[in-house]
Amino acid sequence: MKIPEGLVYLDNNATTACFPEVVEAMAPYWSAAFGNAESAHFAGRTARRAVEAARATVAGALDADPGQIFFTSGATEGNNWIFQAFADSKPAARRVAVSAIEHKSVLNAAKRLEAFGFEVSFLPVTRDGVVDLAAAREAIRPGTGLVSVQLANNETGVVQPVRELAALAHEAGAFFHCDAVQALGKMPFSLANLGVDSAAFSAHKIHGPKGAGFLFLRAGANRFPFPMPLAGGGQERGVRPGTHNVPGIVGLAKAMELLPESSALARMKAMRDEFEKAILAAIPDCRINGAEAERLPNTTNLVIPGSPSELMLANMPLLCISSGSACNSGVMEGSFVLRQMGLSAEEAASSLRVSGSILTSSEELMRAVSMIVTTSQHIRSMAI
Ligand code: PMP
């Protein structure tokens, strides 16, 4: 495999490179320590010890109890798990509320419940991409059984008022789930304090391996209020039966150990701000989506009027960024998240998402500025 020289990767909200330490930590669990974590013999006990050490690391990093952490294949699974468990409980409270800008793994799980006769509210967001609390207060009322809102948006990086929304849900007697994938490693938070009943996470967004993640259940396995949706051999205390992905779990825990400190996050934000300043100086009519809201320190989502993002991407082969979310790429229409924020179809289809990581250098960001500015000038100059 040959990586083109000069390639700049700024699509870390889609996925990140594994840290070398993560790859190294995982290595023995593919071969020498390959045991099944459920087996009683030496090989099994070795694997089991690694899984339990990983659980303690993950819990410790987020101020949770190891008994509240359940390993999964990632956040799509974790999000779906909650919706399925809720539906299986045949609740009397059949109203569900999710934000209108959730990841498809929440949005489509909610739409599935709608097809099963649940009444689903899609909570609107403000122009800056923050869930509208007044509208949420209207929608989240007694009779609501489940509320799910992300901690930070994958396209704009806008941070959501999860603590307030969880309080509203609890006042109404509802269960509150949070897709916290994008927030992990980009803003400090404590699962003990966030007020959520459950949260889904994924390793590949934090320089860990793909196909590994975890679900936080505040109540643990025994006091969890809904039935377990998966049938199987009882692994992960019945929450997630199936043979443990031991290398993935070990890699996830190593990535959690290496989560950036607040000083590194501040450096990331300073570099991102420089990037935005440089783009705005060169393209004065460009706009940053969610500019007035609290945002993750690594994410910029911008509209460059008159520069359709698909054309931009096609003309910048050395720049890995995305138009809308990666899961929607290939679809020509503008991102639904930006449409929900009130952007026109044309504005949404002229937006780019640039997402750095702790491995991003300011030199790479400045090369991205130069590619974006030159390409947009070129595209605009060809417009009639
Ligand atoms: N939620 C959000 C906000 C995401 O950005 C993603 C990844 N695109 C997911 C859920 C799905 O995570 P996974 O890839 O682990 O299934």
In a domain, 90, yes or no: yes
Residues 78 and 218 in one domain: yes
CA of 181 to the centre of ligand 1 (A): 6
Residues 299 and 191 in one domain: no
- Total number of domains in the chain: 2
Residues 32 and 161 in one domain: yes
Q: Which of 98, 105, 107, 240 should be mutated for ligand 1, with most atoms under 8 A from CB? A: 105
What range does the domain containing 25 cover? 20-257
Residues 370 and 337 in one domain: yes
Nearest to 180 by CA among 148, 210, 211, 208: 148
Q: Is 222 helix (H, G, I), strand (E, B) or coil?
A: coil
Residues 249 and 272 in one domain: no
Query: Given 222, 257, 292, which residue is the final one in a domain?
Result: 257
Residue whose entry in the numeric block shows the structure tokens 């400190």 = 261
Encode pLDDT of 58-111 as tens digits: 999 999 999 999 999 999 999 999 999 999 999 999 999 999 999 999 999 999
In a domain, 198, yes or no: yes
Residue minimizing CA distance to atom 1 of ligand 1 = 103
CA of 40 to the centre of ligand 1 (A): 34
- Percent with pLDDT over 90 in the chain: 95
In a domain, 3, yes or no: no
Nearest ligand 1 atom, CA 202? 15
DSSP category for residue 301? E
Crossing angle of helices 104-115 and 75-88, rounded to 10°: 20
Residues 58 and 125 in one domain: yes
- Percent with pLDDT over 70 in the chain: 97
Q: What is the mean pLDDT of the chain?
A: 96
- Domain containing 169 — which CATH number? 3.40.640.10
**Catalytic site includes residue 327:** yes
CA of 281 to the centre of ligand 1 (A): 33
Q: Which residues, judged by CB distance below 6 Å to any ligand atom, belong to the binding site of ligand 1?
A: 74-76, 103, 105, 150, 154, 179, 181-182, 202, 213, 327
Residues 66 and 213 in one domain: yes
pLDDT band at 140 (very low <50, low <70, confident <90, very high): very high
Residues 253 and 292 in one domain: no
In a domain, 310, yes or no: yes
Nearest ligand 1 atom, CA 77? 16
**Does residue 300 contact residue 354 with C-beta atoms inside 8 Å?**
yes
Residue whose entry in the numeric block shows the structure tokens 């109890």 = 65
Q: Which residues contact 176 (CB under 8 A, 6 or more apart)?
A: 147, 148, 149, 165, 166, 169, 170, 195, 196, 197, 198
Give CA–CA dist 341/348, Å, rounded: 10
pLDDT band at 334 (very low <50, low <70, confident <90, very high): confident
CA of 301 to the centre of ligand 1 (A): 18
Residues 41 and 160 in one domain: yes
Encode pLDDT of 152-186 as tens digits: 999 999 999 999 999 999 999 999 999 999 999 99
Give CA–CA dist 154/141, Å, rounded: 27
Residues 264 and 373 in one domain: yes
Q: Which of 16, 71, 76 should be mutated for ligand 1, with most atoms under 8 A from CB? A: 76
Nearest ligand 1 atom, CA 204? 15
Q: Which of 12, 80, 205 should be mutated for ligand 1, with most atoms under 8 A from CB? A: 205
Query: Given 221, 240, 257, which residue is the final one in a domain?
Result: 257
Query: Given 241, 257, 273, which residue is the final one in a domain?
Result: 257
Residues 233 and 349 in one domain: no
H-helix or E-strand spanning residue 147: strand 144-148
Residues 268 and 221 in one domain: no
In a domain, 106, yes or no: yes
Number of alpha carbons in the 13 Å side-chain half-sphere of residue 126: 16
- pTM here is 0.97
In a domain, 225, yes or no: yes
- Domain containing 268 — which CATH number? 3.90.1150.10
In a domain, 2, yes or no: no
CA of 179 to the centre of ligand 1 (A): 8
Number of alpha carbons in the 13 Å side-chain half-sphere of residue 108: 7
Encode pLDDT of 242-290 as tens digits: 999 999 999 999 999 999 999 999 999 999 999 999 999 999 999 999 9
